Chain A
Amino acid sequence: MSHAQPGLAHHFDSYEQQKESSSLGMWIFLAQEIMFFGGLFTAYLVYRYLHSDAFAVGSSLLDIKLGCFNTVVLIGSSLTMAMAVRAAQTGKKQQIVTYLILTLVLGGVFLGVKTVEYGAKWEHHLVPGDNFHADVAEPGHVQLFFVLYFIMTGMHALHMIIGMAILLYMIWRAKQGAYTPENHNYVEGFGLYWHFVDIIWIFLFPLLYLLGAGGVGA
């Protein structure tokens, strides 16, 4: 009954079954994440339909350059994460560590830029609440845009922070040689999660930043 194979859980019959279960499990988790963010996208789409002018105004107050830079950084981190998985598949232990560290660094850069952006929003009285002030026709609707901006990017950032914590753990484990070509489900599974977080941003960027590009109502 006992398995002589290291890293094979007791209730699985083979590495194959364990790997397929692990993969399916992560995909199902991502499916529910899609619905989780989906609720936010629904709120955004409804309100944008109802208040398109105000949303364009709100969007024009975001910094497209920083948003663009962050998009490049995050997609870059997806590339390094894919390379990390590849390194695990090919058994290149040092490469796994390197690529995981690169992913972590790029994630940190992304969050650093977001911190700068959030700080700027606070300075310009664009954080919803008592401090909010916008010299526009419908300040309420613009505030609604910013509520959604902060919740959507905030939720996204929270997912990144959790991801980076897991990355730290994985870097430590990778250094210990825990990830082999036969069994690196953790790296693959996390890779899926990280790419998902990237995909969320791929949709957030145009929806939030590019609405009022180059001037509102032009």
Chain B
Amino acid sequence: MSSLTQTASMPEKHYLNNGTTLKSWLLTVDHKRIALLYLFSVLVMFSIGGIFAILIRLELLTPQADMVTPDVYNRLFTLHGVIMILFFLIPAIPGTLGNFLVPIMVGAKDLAFPKINLLSWYVFNAGVILAVAALVLGGVDTGWTFYTPFSTTFSNSNVILAGLGAFMAGFASILTGLNFLVTIHRMRAPGMTWFRLPLYIWSHYATSIIMILGTPVLAIAIVLIAVERGLGVGIFDPNIGGDPLLFQHLFWFYSHPAVYVMILPAMGIISEIIAAFSRQRIFGYHFVAFSSMAIAILGFLVWGHHLYVSSQSVYASIVFSVLTMLVAVPSAVKMFNWSATLFKGSISFDTPMLYAFGFFGLFTIGGLTGIFCATLGLDVHIHDTYFIVAHFHYVMVGGTVMAFFGGLHYWWPKMTGRMYPEMLARIAAIATFIGFNTTFFPQFLLGYLGMPRRYAVYPPEFQFLNICSTLGATILSVGAALPLFYLAWSFKYGRKAGDNPWGATGLEWETTSPPPTFNFDETPVVDRDPYDYAHLYGQQES
């Protein structure tokens, strides 16, 4: 029963007012408070990364490098990439919504290792400080991919600082993943069997596996770069028998699965939202759960598709191309299952659902264009063009960012006890969708026509599409920035939401909004399937 239909209330004591000093926040071990600490950090980084994006789009209004020099432009897109990928997309959902919800959804009082959870936030911020230091001291110009030998031998920018920042952010994600895996294995409430878990948990489980097995390889790649650059000893230097491709293999072994770290939690959010706002159980629950695992595993086998034109052996490229086609299948399975969930559902268009619909269309385009990129022959043509840029923004922004905002709105009443302003939120969601497409669809065309990425100058015939793209970026910034304002406003002035404003299933909706510090007044006992909307409706009738 939705609590929005009754007079909603907030409990007297809950996790937000259980201690109000700065120390009680900075030394908290409560996973919900740590989630909010993470939310603050990632939104700051999102804003900084966004500013770089705006600067890039402003420069690209004209074909010449007239706003910034090419050298400065190199630093703009490098920092945009480093910050958005390593300091926003990877930690955002697991660090905020994951930290908040994983213990509650499994019925536990906290994560398995609360102090390590806090440590992960501090390690993350150490990375933030290093990255910001690199920025302030002049930036990095190697591209977020840090390819050798430019990064190790020829670049005059703060490569090691940025690399260490990335190392720290990565280590924070390893600690988070470790915590989630142990929590999901060992701390489920009585009756919470594996197939009664919400699909959100399955997706975080799969994400955590990737974090554990992939991130360390990035860490060692960064260490090797730091040694080669800092000590002047060649490791990837052909002059002494080294191979720059070895770096690329180590780098992409992590960085490809990293994109699944970015999308799997987003898919978890979509499962929850689609179920709640069509009031149906997710069609093919087992398929969706196993698809998450399949994406995590298959995602580790495809990294070489980033090396097609780097002089990787053609035979290896063929193998990678076939495997990359395979990894699209489980994602498609999920899309079909979500569509089937909508069928004959009772659909409402609240803001979270708007974001979910946005995800649907945009992730489809992003995913399908991924098949283009996976095709060996075609990729030779579109590699390092704006086609690739458009592809990954469709999946990362159209996918992850849409889902992140959708999830933020969906669980905002649970986290704060208050509702956000619905009309304004819908406008923001629609503006984001329109702005996003206007920004990035022209980039598919630009890329296919031959405009290369990472260049401040371009042939004049591309200007029109670039102007369209920048116009879109303006709309997108408004759409993305609006929530930051009204969500902050709603903390104090939003309407009280009550325990279950959406009438949704899940253990998180069976406790108060905001929850007490230890999540539940009594340890829950689980005796029914997830997304048991039919049962809920049955109760309402009687």
Which residues of A are at the interface with B, using a C-beta cutoff of 8 A? 1, 9-13, 17, 20-21, 24-25, 28-29, 31-33, 35-40, 42-43, 46-47, 50-51, 54, 128-130, 138, 140-141, 143-144, 147-148, 151, 155
Q: Name the segment of B42-50, B198-206, B225-233, B527-535 touching the other chain.
A: B225-233
Q: Are A147 and B234 in contact (CB under 8 A)?
A: yes
Chain A: minimal CB distance from B111 (Å)? 8
In the bound complex, CA of A54 to CA of B246 (Å): 18
- B218-256 vs A, CB cutoff 8 Å, 1 = contact: the mask equals 011101100100011111000111110010011001000
Q: Evaluate whether A47 and B220 lie within 8 angstroms (CB atoms) in the complex, with A11-B109, A129-B232 already known.
A: no
The contact string, 1 if C-beta is below 8 Å from chain A, for chain B 171-207, is: 0001000110110011100000000000000000000
Do A24 and B182 contact each other (CB < 8 Å), given the known contacts A31-B213, A129-B231? yes
Contacts of A35 in B (CB 8 A): 212-214, 216-217
Smallest CB gap from A39: residue in B: B220
B114 partner residues in chain A, CB cutoff 8 A: 9, 11
Tell me what chain B mostly uses at the interface: helix, strand, loop, or mixed. Answer: helix
- The reply to whether A54 and B241 contact each other, CB–CB distance below 8 Å, is yes
- Which residue of the partner chain, among B179, B186, B523, contacts A17 with CB atoms under 8 Å? B186
Q: When the two chains form their complex, are residues B235 and A32 in contact, meaning their CB atoms are under 8 A apart?
A: no
Q: How many residues of B contact A (CB 8 A)?
A: 44
Given A21-B182, A39-B250, A47-B241, 16 further pairs, Cβ under 8 A: A10-B109, A10-B518, A11-B187, A17-B187, A20-B186, A24-B185, A25-B113, A32-B213, A36-B216, A40-B220, A42-B250, A46-B243, A130-B232, A141-B241, A147-B227, A151-B235
- Contact check, B243 vs A147: say whether CB atoms are below 8 A apart: no
Q: Which of A24, A51, A128 contacts B186 (CB 8 A)?
A: A24
21 A-B pairs in the complex with CB atoms less than 8 angstroms apart: A11-B109, A12-B187, A17-B186, A17-B187, A24-B181, A24-B185, A25-B112, A25-B116, A32-B174, A32-B178, A35-B217, A36-B220, A38-B216, A39-B219, A39-B221, A42-B249, A43-B235, A128-B231, A143-B233, A151-B224, A151-B235
Select which of A39, A140, A151 is within 8 A of B217 by beta carbon: A39
Residue of B nearest to A36 (CB): B216
Return chain B residues, CB-CB under 8 Å to A40: 220
Residue numbers in B under 8 Å from A128 (CB-CB): 231, 233
Which chain B residue lies CB-closest to A10?
B109
Closest B residue to A37 by beta carbon equals B220
Contacts of A33 in B (CB 8 A): 216
Q: Are A25 and B235 in contact (CB under 8 A)?
A: no
| B213 → chain A closest CB, angstroms | 6
Nearest A-chain residue to B228, judged by Cβ: A147
Q: How far is the CA of A155 from the CA of B216 in the complex (A)?
A: 13
Q: Does B108 contact A (CB under 8 A)?
A: yes
Shortest 8 CB-CB contacts between residues of A and residues of B: A39-B220, A140-B240, A36-B216, A11-B110, A35-B216, A141-B241, A128-B233, A11-B109
B215 within 8 A of A: yes
B112 in contact with A151 (CB, 8 Å): no
A36 engages B217 (CB within 8 Å): yes
Are B240 and A32 closer than 8 Å at their CB atoms? no
A12 vs B182: C-alpha distance in the bound complex, in angstroms? Answer: 12
Query: Is the pair A50, B212 in contact by a Cβ cutoff of 8 Å?
Result: no
A11 to B174, CA, bound (A): 21
Complex: A128 Cα to B230 Cα, angstroms: 13
Identity of the chain B residue whose Cβ is nearest the Cβ of A28 in the assembled complex? B178
Which positions 73-109 of chain B face chain A at CB distance < 8 Å?
A: 108-109
Contact of A21 among B186, B216, B235 (CB under 8 A): B186
The answer on a CB contact under 8 Å between A32 and B182 is no
Distance of A42 Cα from B518 Cα, bound (Å):
45
**Nearest CB of A to B185, in Å:** 6
In the assembled complex, the CB of A97 is this many whole angstroms from the nearest CB of chain B, namely 26
Q: How many angstroms between the C-alpha atoms of A138 and B246 in the bound complex?
A: 20
Q: How far is the CB of B234 from chain A (nearest CB, A)?
A: 7
Residues of chain B from 476 to 528 with CB closer than 8 A to chain A in the complex = 518, 523
When distances are taken between beta carbons in the complex, the residues of chain A under 8 Å from B112 are: 11, 21, 25
Q: Given the complex, which residues of A lie within 8 Å of B240, measured CB to CB?
A: 140-141, 143-144
**B68 to chain A: closest CB distance in Å?**
36
A32→B220 CA distance, assembly (Å): 11
Interchain nearest-CB distance for A8 vs B (Å): 12
Known: A11-B108, A11-B110. A147 touches B233 (CB 8 A): yes
* Contact A43 to B182, CB < 8 A, known contacts A35-B214, A129-B232: no
Q: Are B212 and A32 in contact (CB under 8 A)?
A: yes
Q: How far is the CB of B105 from chain A (nearest CB, A)?
A: 15
- B235: which of A24, A54, A130, A147 is its contact (CB, 8 Å)? A147
Min CB distance A163 to B, Å, is 18
Q: How far is the CB of B299 from chain A (nearest CB, A)?
A: 15
Q: Contact: B224 with A144, CB < 8 Å?
A: no
B246/A43 in contact, CB under 8 A: yes
Q: Given the complex of chains A and B, what is the CA–CA distance between A217 and B150 in angstroms?
A: 36
Contact flag A21-B174 (CB < 8 Å), given A38-B217, A144-B235, A147-B234: no
What is the bound-complex CA distance between A51 and B243, given in angstroms? 12
Residues in A neighbouring B182, C-beta threshold 8 A:
21, 24-25, 28
Supposing A24-B185, A43-B250, A47-B242 touch, asked if A151 and B227 sit within 8 A by C-beta, the answer is yes
**Residue of chain B at shortest CB distance from A151:** B227
| Shortest distance from the beta carbon of A118 to any chain B beta carbon, whole Å | 14
A43 vs B236: C-alpha distance when bound (angstroms): 10
Residue of B nearest to A130 (CB): B232
By beta carbon, the residue of chain B nearest A43 is B246
A145 to chain B, nearest CB (A): 9
B450–chain A nearest beta-carbon distance, Å: 35
